[in-house]
Chain A
Amino acid sequence: MLHFTRWKMIAILTVVVVGLLAALPNLFSKETVDSWPSWVPKRQMVLGLDLQGGAYLLYEVDRQDYVQKRLRSLVGDIRKAMLQEPRIGYSGLGVQGQGVQLRIRDLSQLDEVKKRLEPLRNQLATSALGGTAVNEFDLTVGNDGLVQMAYSTAGLDQRIRQIVDQSIEVIGRRIDQLGTVEPSIQRQGSDRILVEAPGLDDPERLKTLVGQTAQLTFHLVDTGVSPTADTRKPGTIVLNSTDTPPVPYVLEEAPLLTGEDLTDAQATFDSRTNEPVVSFRLSSAGARVFGDVTQKNVNRPFAIVLDDKVISAPVIREPILGGSGQISGNFSIQSANDLAILLRAGSLPAKLTIVEERNIGPGLGADSIRSGKIAAIIGTAAVCAFMVMTYGVLGWIANIAVIVNVILIFSIVTILGATLSLPGIAGVIITVGTAVDSNVLIYERIREEFRAGRSAIASIDAGFHKALGTILDANVTTLIAALVLFYMGSGPIRGFAVTHAIGVATTMFTAFTFTRLLVAMWVRWRRPTKITL
């Protein structure tokens, strides 16, 4: 047990030195490390949001909201299809549960109905290779004239998946425009998006930028009726303005233009009032429509609507033919800028709601790091002192092993690019506490063997031999627990499991190799004849 071949010794020491070097950059600031020559390892540990501050936002696609909106637009599409020549008579067209239904008057037209509605079923490509295409809606035509178009589970799921993909893209574009944060935007499960932005100190701005649907539409205002009157024409809607208290407007439901027609948006200042405004440029098709409408509706107000709220409703003074315009509406410089970003990046395909939010200020993160460090240093020092009191020289060996162990944990965390969180630091400290267990098991065994009458060297040899089996069993069970936690846990549980699992592995490594090597070197140097443990 105590014999090491030369190459084995070299291998063990190499691992330890490589570990030291890999952990080294963490002792220096980012700037110092960046200035090092290229051949030096530079990778630093990734600190969790709880240590460096930042925002963790879990968004979920609002299925109900999406389905309602989608079905309403499907009603419009079906109406249009039925109105094509020859017209098809129907009644009772409306949203019913997760679908739309209507009743056809003339049963002889059912085949024609099928033909017209088929394209509306909207084939969705599945992203998986070799996957079969799914239709968004199922179409059932009953012989009694009842026609239903409804979401199938597969259709809705596929649709939601696409929405998540599109949303991730849009959110990415929006955050890119901020330029300052390096966020991670990931899909979570089937209908969720996780946005993590480390080091961010203004989570509210991130929230307004990420969470807004930013669906921009232009509508003509119907000034003929009061918003509270019952005499509203069909095809009009009432929307409130963003003012406090909100002012209601009656608008034509069909938008003249949407955000899709925009090619660019910039925050600028109004040349007359010097207020921040958002100026936009329309695509050529959009410009044509806009020119047409404004020509016909001089002196009528039109409303600029963002996410069902009227931001402003200017009166058309003269036809706007150039394809550009501006939105004013009590903006601050930042809110004008944010709106411009939203319009450039495009709108989200569906409403997203925040289902979980965790924001840590950078100040708190720094405090946590400081107290974590202090606790780690004091804990390690106290354990080391106790070990020396109990085991003398061998206590020192145990301490060297424990310190190497801690360094190895940090180097592995660094190399793997795993995230160190506050519970992760707790995991390291627990490892310090239990890592000495392997040394204690070995030393107590050596004592027992010596008391049983063996020679010092034979006792040491037998001590290692017998203790290592126990160490293996004990640590493998702990390792299993830590690995399960890692794969199944989330948040703090996972943060803890990472360092704990790594710690158990490095503990086994040091017990089997490094500690043994140190003891062997000590034995060769001192040739002890007595064991004073």
Chain B
Amino acid sequence: MAHLRIVPDNTKIPFMRMRKWTFPLAAFLSIMSVILFFTVGPNYGIDFLGGTVIEIQTKDAKPDLGKLRSTLNGLGLGDVQVQTIGADNSILIRMGQQDGGEEAQQAAIGKIRTALVDQAEFRRTEIVGPRVSGELASKGALAMLVTFAAIAIYVWFRFEWQFAAGSIISAANVVVMTFGFYVVTQHEFNLTSLAAILTTIGYSLNDTVVVYDRIRETLRKYKKIPLGDLIDRAINDMLGRTVITTVTTLIALFSLYIFGGEVIQAFTLAMIFGVLAAIFSSVCVAAPILIYFGLRSDQMSKKEDVEAAGKA
């Protein structure tokens, strides 16, 4: 029985020779992401900015958005954004932070409720106050840093320090690029987006570690081949696996994107981007870094000898 083979056997793609182009490309994308992040900035949601989001479903199947807009903007609550999501009568109302703190937010919600209670069902209301939004942002950033630290320690124990540094830099590259993705697409950046980014860290590390594992093994097997060729061989050996796993993950993510409903669509889109970025990053950043950081196969073999001696 013939099975589907996406990647032919014995591929010999010279990834490390390509690093002249791919590594600067990764660096460029990262730097651009950082620049965009600080100049344009992401479209922060209420989780980080504070404010109010209300989702309603109007009883009218085709509501008059213009009228709704003018009604809400006439309430004197500042700029109130109105947009449909999914079905025509599913409407998202967004409102920035009100002057006057938490009580003003509550009062604003009350006004909107009174104005719309006859024509719509209130499906979701989220209000995040200014203090909480700041805390959510700092907690999220802290979670990310602790994750990096914990992983670095694990990889450092299991591999050489170059691997630890490489996996962290590669994961950071994925995170930065995914932030860049949010800036470019202007998808709302909220707590769920943060969860998406943090997941891509996990995925990226998973992928990097699998590649590193193979590089380490190849290093032990062939002690005379130059490091670049060694890494190429390892990556090519794993190419079938990398592609198949990426495909299955993308299948799962796309089904979530298409059928999972409006609420997690932005979340899955970011993850789809993150998965692709992770693959790119583990081949084009994590692997070359080993060369740039001067990992030598003789170091590996020395360590092996010591370990062997210890066992004997």
Instruction: Indicate whether A283 reaches chain B with its CB closer than 8 angstroms.
Output: no
Bound-state CA distance A440–B249 (Å) is 12
CB distance from A334 to the nearest CB of B (A): 15
Decide: A358 and B126 in contact? CB cutoff 8 A: yes
Given A386-B248, A496-B195, are A359 and B124 neighbors across the interface (CB < 8 Å)?
A: yes
Instruction: Indicate whether A379 reaches chain B with its CB closer than 8 angstroms.
Output: yes
Other A-B contacts than A363-B57, A379-B251, 7 sampled, CB-CB below 8 A, are A380-B252, A426-B256, A429-B260, A430-B253, A433-B252, A477-B202, A490-B136
Bound-state CA distance A364–B123 (Å) is 6
CB distance from A497 to the nearest CB of B (A): 8
Instruction: Indicate whether B129 reaches chain A with its CB closer than 8 angstroms.
Output: yes
Decide: A484 and B150 in contact? CB cutoff 8 A: yes
What would 28 A/B residue contacts be, using CB atoms closer than 8 Å?
A50-B263, A354-B105, A355-B129, A357-B126, A358-B125, A359-B126, A361-B123, A374-B260, A375-B256, A379-B256, A379-B259, A389-B3, A390-B3, A390-B5, A390-B6, A422-B263, A436-B245, A437-B241, A470-B210, A470-B214, A473-B209, A477-B205, A477-B209, A482-B202, A484-B150, A489-B139, A493-B143, A496-B199
Q: Determine which of B103, B205, B245 lies in contact with A478 in the assembled complex, contact meaning CB atoms within 8 Å.
A: B205
Contacts of B309 in A (CB 8 A): none
Bound-state CA distance A354–B101 (Å) is 10
Contacts of A390 in B (CB 8 A): 3-6, 244
Given A379-B252, A383-B252, A485-B143, are A423 and B210 neighbors across the interface (CB < 8 Å)?
A: no
Which of A69-77, A316-324, A365-373 has 4 or more CB atoms under 8 Å from chain B? A365-373
Tell me which residues from 99 to 114 in chain B have a Cβ below 8 Å from any Cβ of chain A. Answer: 101-103, 105-106, 113
Instruction: Indicate whether A432 reaches chain B with its CB closer than 8 angstroms.
Output: yes
Decide: B4 and A389 in contact? CB cutoff 8 A: yes
Contacts of B191 in A (CB 8 A): 490-493
Contacts of A372 in B (CB 8 A): 260-261
Decide: B263 and A368 in contact? CB cutoff 8 A: yes
Decide: B255 and A375 in contact? CB cutoff 8 A: yes
Q: Mark each residue of chain A from 333 to 368: 1 if its CB lies under 8 Å from any CB of chain B, else 0.
A: 000000000000000000001111111110110011
Bound-state CA distance A406–B167 (Å) is 29
Instruction: Indicate whether A476 reaches chain B with its CB closer than 8 angstroms.
Output: yes
Do most interface residues of chain B lie in helix, strand or loop, or is the interface mixed? helix
Decide: B124 and A444 in contact? CB cutoff 8 A: no
Which B residue's beta carbon lies closest to that of A371? B261
Given A451-B9, A489-B195, are A533 and B251 neighbors across the interface (CB < 8 Å)?
A: no
B interface list, Cβ under 8 A from A: 1, 3-6, 9, 55, 57, 101-103, 105-106, 113, 121-129, 131-132, 136, 139-140, 142-143, 146-147, 150-151, 154-155, 158, 167, 191-192, 194-195, 198-199, 201-203, 205-207, 209-210, 213-214, 217, 237-238, 240-241, 244-245, 247-253, 255-256, 258-261, 263-264, 267-268, 271
Decide: B3 and A378 in contact? CB cutoff 8 A: no
Instruction: Indicate whether A532 reaches chain B with its CB closer than 8 angstroms.
Output: yes
CB distance from B14 to the nearest CB of A (A): 20
Decide: A477 and B151 in contact? CB cutoff 8 A: yes
A interface list, Cβ under 8 A from B: 50, 58, 60, 203-204, 207, 353-361, 363-364, 367-368, 371-372, 374-375, 378-380, 382-383, 386-387, 389-392, 422-423, 425-426, 429-430, 432-434, 436-437, 440-441, 444, 447-448, 451, 466, 469-470, 473-478, 480-482, 484-485, 488-493, 496-497, 500, 532-533
What's the count of A-B pairs with C-beta under 8 Å?
232
Which B residue's beta carbon lies closest to that of A394? B3
Decide: A488 and B151 in contact? CB cutoff 8 A: no
Decide: A493 and B140 in contact? CB cutoff 8 A: yes
CB distance from A493 to the nearest CB of B (A): 4
Decide: A448 and B237 in contact? CB cutoff 8 A: yes
Interface centre among A60, A203, A387, A441 (most CB of B within 10 A): A441
Contacts of A360 in B (CB 8 A): 123-124
Decide: B122 and A361 in contact? CB cutoff 8 A: yes
CB distance from A54 to the nearest CB of B (A): 11
Contacts of B57 in A (CB 8 A): 363
CB distance from A68 to the nearest CB of B (A): 15
Q: Determine which of B121, B122, B132 lies in contact with A58 in the assembled complex, contact meaning CB atoms within 8 Å.
A: B132
Decide: A375 and B132 in contact? CB cutoff 8 A: no
Decide: B3 and A423 in contact? CB cutoff 8 A: no
Which B residue's beta carbon lies closest to that of A491? B191
